Structure 1
Amino acid sequence: MDFKMHEYTHAVVGKVTPLLITDKADSNDARRQYDCYLRLLSELNLELTELATNLFFPDNVILEDLAIVCHGIVLLPKPRSDSEGQLIKAIKRTLKELGQTVIEVDDPEAKLVGSDVLFTGREFFVGISESSNEAGASAVAEAFPEFPCTPIKLSKGAKHLKRYITVAGEDVLCVGASKEAQEVLKRMEREANFSYQTLTVPEDEAANCLYVNGTLIHRAIEEIPESFKVFCEKIDFARRSICFSELAKVSTGLSACCLLVRKP
């Protein structure tokens, strides 16, 4: 097993561009939060690689759904819109330049988005919902045959898998305390090929973390006051916190705005 399972050299990110006026988020606050996000990634020894597209912020920075990147392999789902198609082309070109092998989902029946795909460092889980199906999970299994891949059915109306559970450390999963999140965790524990520690946070919006190069990134105290206490009490390695409230309104959370890559 690769002992550098959560160590990365690059973060592929969207380029800061003129604002798209949206009623879902305050664009100026979202821009400030995104700038802080990029700065933090740089501080964690990641080289930022910007995607050049004609899309506007924040549409051009939500990348997670458009590529699954793991151990030098990239799986690209089928685009669901013209704007996604443009981003996927830019992602494909950029990741090839970073020495990654690109595979495209070719099954016409497959539905797959990256925010339904959780890689623990040892195995994949794919949330089965309106956005990803069993054929999509099969595409993940075929692209990464060295890792077990388990489809996990989400409850009706439940959002993407990574809204409820993400990796928060080596063999540590962070999960929300809601009924939906706990049901997902139980299903995963029943099907998992490996054992994990779990960190349960009171607010579901705190469950989406990033674990990068030995550091856990989670949301700021003003956004997740109860969960922030849990992170302080339970995490005994490096932590950083940032505000992400506006960007979270248009994405699954912290994991949504970068593609983490280890260049060979």
Structure 2
Amino acid sequence: MASVRPYGHFTHAVVRGIPESFGRKAEGGETDGECGTDLAKAQRQFGVLTGALRQKVGLQLIEIPPDPELPESWRIEDVAVIQGDTALITRPWKQQRRSEAEAVRRVLSELNLTVVEMGGEEGGSGGATLEGSDVLFTGKEFFVGISSHTNHRGAEVLADTFRDFAVSTVPVCGGARLKNVCSMGGPNTIVIGNSEGAKKTLRMMEQLTDHHYEVLTVPEDTAANCIYIRGASKMDFLLHRPTEECPNSTPAFQKLTDYTLLPTACSEASKLGGALSSFCLLINRKLQI
């Protein structure tokens, strides 16, 4: 497993700007009035997130310009799964989203990653759908959420790509995607929401794994999506939802006394089913840190 890096060690973050079409449906281009999104606020929140990744955590930031023709392209996590030197370009469930991968593919190739394609509708991966927000990598194994966005064939393609790791599938019982209800809060810590669906998902994950993980339960499912990064200064950073968005979960995060906590707003993206991790692809391009 030559490409394995210490969990949470990253050097780069690839992000994609918020387009003017933010909040619109991918098909038809009409504004989804039920979402009530605020474009300017979303852009400000995106700026705070990217500023934290660059200035506080110390990552090299690569920003792909926004594309108004791709209203969901800010959700960059969905179009690639990266581990070590390998990047799997996924196939989102919505046909209209699949062109989002073109710009991401170019950037990952420029970073000299080995880019693996899921392929077209025909052939070995025919019928497969996979979105990165349904994929949780723990540093030891992959969990793939089976949801309306990701199917078993997509999980099989991921398993074939990352053969050094066990890949387990779990039905998504809470939230639209697996990482709406859980994320990694450190090398051995799973952060999980407190809803019945989230707890059911965790029980299934525990039944499928041979590894032991600490569990940090947060009262609000939306708070369970965090971004953990081990900085170059060997500090542990955790980007998480702020008190004004998830007031009941702040005490749980404050238990992580050895971490540098970075409250980061995500309210506008969450109206569209997004989360903090939706905004970035994290990459380690150093052989050693």
TM range (shorter): over 0.9
Q: Does 1:208 align with 2:225?
A: yes
CA deviation after TM superposition for structure 1 residue 195, in Å: 0.8
How far apart, CA to CA, are the structure 2 residues paired with 1:82 and 1:50? 24
Match of 2:166 in 1: 148
Match of 1:37 in 2: 49
CA deviation after TM superposition for structure 1 residue 16, in Å: 5.1
Contact map agreement 1:53 1:90 (CA 8 A) in 2: no
Alignment equivalent of 1:177, drawn from 183, 187, 194: 194
Q: Does 1:76 align with 2:94?
A: no
How far apart, CA to CA, are the structure 1 residues paired with 2:150 and 2:166? 18
Higher percent of residues as helix: 1
Contact map agreement 1:6 1:211 (CA 8 A) in 2: yes
Q: Does 1:66 align with 2:79?
A: yes
Match of 1:13 in 2: 15
Worse overlay, 182-191 or 68-77? 68-77
Cα distance change, pair 20–200 in 1 and its aligned pair in 2 (3 A): closer
Identity across matched positions, percent: 35
Match of 2:210 in 1: 193
How far apart, CA to CA, are the structure 1 residues paired with 2:7 and 2:112? 18
Match of 2:118 in 1: 105
CA deviation after TM superposition for structure 1 residue 54, in Å: 3.2
Alignment equivalent of 2:254, drawn from 195, 208, 232: 232
Matches within 5 A, 1:231-250: 231-250=253-272
Contact map agreement 2:135 2:178 (CA 8 A) in 1: yes
How far apart, CA to CA, are the structure 2 residues paired with 1:123 and 1:154? 18
Instruction: List gaps (5 residues or longer) in structure 2.
Output: 24-30, 120-124, 231-235
CA deviation after TM superposition for structure 1 residue 181, in Å: 0.2
Alignment equivalent of 1:4, drawn from 6, 12, 15: 6
**Match for 1:9: what amino acid?**
T
How far apart, CA to CA, are the structure 2 residues paired with 1:158 and 1:31? 24
Q: Does 1:85 align with 2:98?
A: yes
**Match for 2:117: what amino acid?**
E
**Match for 1:159: what amino acid?**
A
Instruction: Give SS of 2:259's match.
Output: coil
How far apart, CA to CA, are the structure 2 residues paired with 1:257 and 1:56? 18
Cα distance change, pair 58–209 in 1 and its aligned pair in 2 (3 A): farther
CA deviation after TM superposition for structure 1 residue 127, in Å: 0.7
Q: Give per-residue Cα distances to partners, 1:91-132, cap 9 Å, x unaligned.
A: 111001011111111301212111110001111000112221
Q: TM-score, normalised by structure 2?
A: 0.85
Match of 2:233 in 1: none
Match of 2:140 in 1: 122
Q: Give per-residue Cα distances to partners, 1:46-85, cap 9 Å, x unaligned.
A: 1111224533686331111111111111111225456523
**Match for 1:15: what amino acid?**
G
How far apart, CA to CA, are the structure 1 residues paired with 2:67 and 2:181? 32
Cα distance change, pair 58–168 in 1 and its aligned pair in 2 (3 A): farther
How far apart, CA to CA, are the structure 2 residues paired with 1:17 and 1:128? 29
Contact map agreement 1:55 1:83 (CA 8 A) in 2: no
Cα distance change, pair 192–250 in 1 and its aligned pair in 2 (3 A): same
Contact map agreement 2:93 2:150 (CA 8 A) in 1: no
Q: TM-score, normalised by structure 1?
A: 0.92
Q: Give per-residue Cα distances to partners, 1:1-30, cap 9 Å, x unaligned.
A: 856221111111113554546442111111
Instruction: Give SS of 2:73's match.
Output: helix
